[in-house]
Structure formats: C-alpha cells, structure tokens
Chain A
Amino acid sequence: MVTAEVLQEALSAVQKECEAALSQFLATEVAFEPKEWAQRQADELLSVLYSFAEPSQVRAIAVGIYGQMQGYLILLLPMDDADRIAAFVLGDEGDESLRESVLAELGNLATARLLMGMGKALRLFGESLPTPPETRVDFSGALLQSLAVLLLAQGQGNILHALWQMRVRLPDGTAHGSGHFFLPLWGEGLK
C-alpha cells in the first residue's frame, strides 16, 4: 500500500517532468500548478468532476492507460488558447490535422511522464501502455461526465484524482488549460 507522502512526492516529480518536456516541445515556458489531488470513490468523483462542468466548448486531449497501471489523462484547453498554442508552434502553415497533432503531442508527452513517475512511486514494474491521444472539440461538462461514468462503470473503487492548471507563455499572452489525471488505486488505497 502506497502512502500519501509517497504519492505527493511522485506527483510533484511528475509535474516538474511534464513542465520540462512540454517546455522543450513548445520552445516556451510551460508551468503546471497543482490545484488539488485526492483519493476519491468513483461515485464521489462524479459529483466533484461535474462541479467543473461549463457549457462552453473546449479542445480536449484524452489518453487512456492500460496494462499494470490503468488510468486516464485529459487536458482541457479553451478553444482560443488551444489555437494560439498550435499557431505558436506551426505559424500560419498549420491545417486542422496539424494543429490537432501538436495538441495530441502535449497529451503524449504528459502521459509518458505520468507513466514513468507513477509507475515508480507505486512500484509497478510491469508493462503499462498509453492509448494514442484522442483530440476532441466538445463541452467540458460532457467530457468530464463521460470519463467519470467510465470509471464508475469499470467498477473502480478508490481513485486518485489530480488536477493541474497549465500555463503556457506565448508572445501574445499566457494560454491556460487544465489537466485531470485519474488513477485507480487497488485495495484499500492510500495509507
């Protein structure tokens, strides 16, 4: 059984790794500010996640994790901020699929760091794999609701939920986003 301290330490390390990887990829400063993290029951998570629901469209990047470690990462970016991040990388040349690729890569990079960091903290040395990132434009509430129900339908008991705010420094001002990470904790969960 993993302790809360170990998990906190692992999340902090993952956060720094994500900052470094995304900063390098985007060639600008990317900061992840931990907003909150908690161990929750799947049913409780439904209500918590729905409190983040807004009837506005976002660009979302979702990645599933399967194998010894199972979980989900979803990055939510306001439409304008997502477009600005993609334009910063691609200039005026990017079409829609290229823009999506840039954003998908953010999910790829973050998930790789999460897999390494959390696998080490939880002492999971078996194989864990990410799905290809899925990018979508949709309502944040609908996406978060679907993800929470998915966890519930899979019968997950204790789930680690970490929420980060993401800031990307761009020439025309900071772009913002948020990242939700869900990791089922087997057994009784945290000590």
Chain B
Amino acid sequence: METEGERLVGLGELVVTDDPAVTLVVPGVGSCVIVCAYHRRVKVAGMAHIVLPSSENFRGTAAKPFWFADRAIPHLLASLQAKGAMRPNCVIVGGANMLQLALPSPHRDALNIGAMNVQAVLKFLQPAANIIAQFIGGSHGWVVRFRVADGVVTVRSGNGKTHKIAL
C-alpha cells in the first residue's frame, strides 16, 4: 500500500519533516483527527494523527504521548517552531461519528469521541496556527495525502468528494 515517497502516519504518530520527496499519508480517518501543518517560507510540514482528546486519567500516556490532543498539538507546534516554522497554516480532518449504532447509554456516549477530539484539537491549535480548512464531523471517513514539496493536502471523503488545499 505504501508507495515510494509515501510515508504512512499511523495512529498516535507525529511527523515533522522538510524532505520534499515525502508525501504523508493517512489511509483512513474516522473519529481521529489529522492535523496537517505547513509553513510556506521554510517548507516544513508536520502531521499529527490524534486518537483521543485528553491524556488526563489515562494509563500509560508516557509511552503514547501523541495519541492525545493535549500532548500532540503543543509538541507539533514546538517541533515546527524549532525548524523556523512559526504560526503554520493548517488543515484539520476527522472527528466523524461513523457508527451510529443504536446502543443504549452509557455505551452510546463513546460514539461521540470524534466531536470531543475536534473540540480539543481546536482548543490547542487555534491560538498558534492559521486554520485554512476543516473537514470535520459528519458520518463519513477520509483519506488524507499531504505533499511536503508544495504543502498541498488532498482529502478524499467517503462520500466520493475530493478536495485539494494548498497550505
């Protein structure tokens, strides 16, 4: 599935790179949130694949710090800044509620994890980045490709639509 130059970004992974030969790829995002960040002048790209909103009350967070919006976003911004990329342009994708299973409460509450992820990502990202586009919520998944060479993000939706955004 991974072709030359493509770098899969797995759950809870955070990648910052200035290698123009690389395209960062997420083959499926539903309730998770993908943050694509880019600085045009220094041509540095960053991507975080966030799984859950908060590391509070969660065991074993030290081993998986970038699962959580409250840990991943500050680290992503700091890593970009260390490469000279201040206040990057961003696209965020995800936070869908893909499964609307008719579960009784309290099981049903967990189905809203996507919305909680989006809320947490925006809280940490908005003060320090320019959010150019958002593909969030709804009930469809996405496939995300982010080309480091020119900062173009391609977002394919499960409903058949494809969007291209130049960061």
Residues of A participating in the B interface, judged by any CB pair closer than 8 Å: 43, 46-47, 50, 53-55, 57, 62-64, 66, 70, 72, 131-132, 134, 136-150, 152-154
Contacts and interface: CB of A to CB of B under 8 A. Distances in A.
Contacts of A131: 101-103
- Provide the main secondary structure of the chain B interface: loop
B29 interface: yes
B107 A50 contact: no
B98 interface: yes
Contacts of B96: 142, 146
Contact of B52 (A54, A146, A153): A153
B166 interface: no
Contacts of A46: 11-12, 51
A142 B30 contact: yes
A148 B142 CA distance: 16
* A-B pairs, 7 with minimum CB distance: A141-B28, A142-B141, A146-B30, A138-B158, A142-B28, A142-B30, A64-B101
User: How many B residues touch the partner, as a band?
Assistant: 35 or more
Given A142-B98, A143-B28, A146-B98, A55 B1 contact: yes
Contacts of A148: 11
B110 A55 contact: no
A163 to B, nearest CB: 17
Interface string B1-38: 10000000011100000000000011111111000000
Contacts of B103: 64, 66, 131
Given A43-B64, A153-B52, A55 B101 contact: no
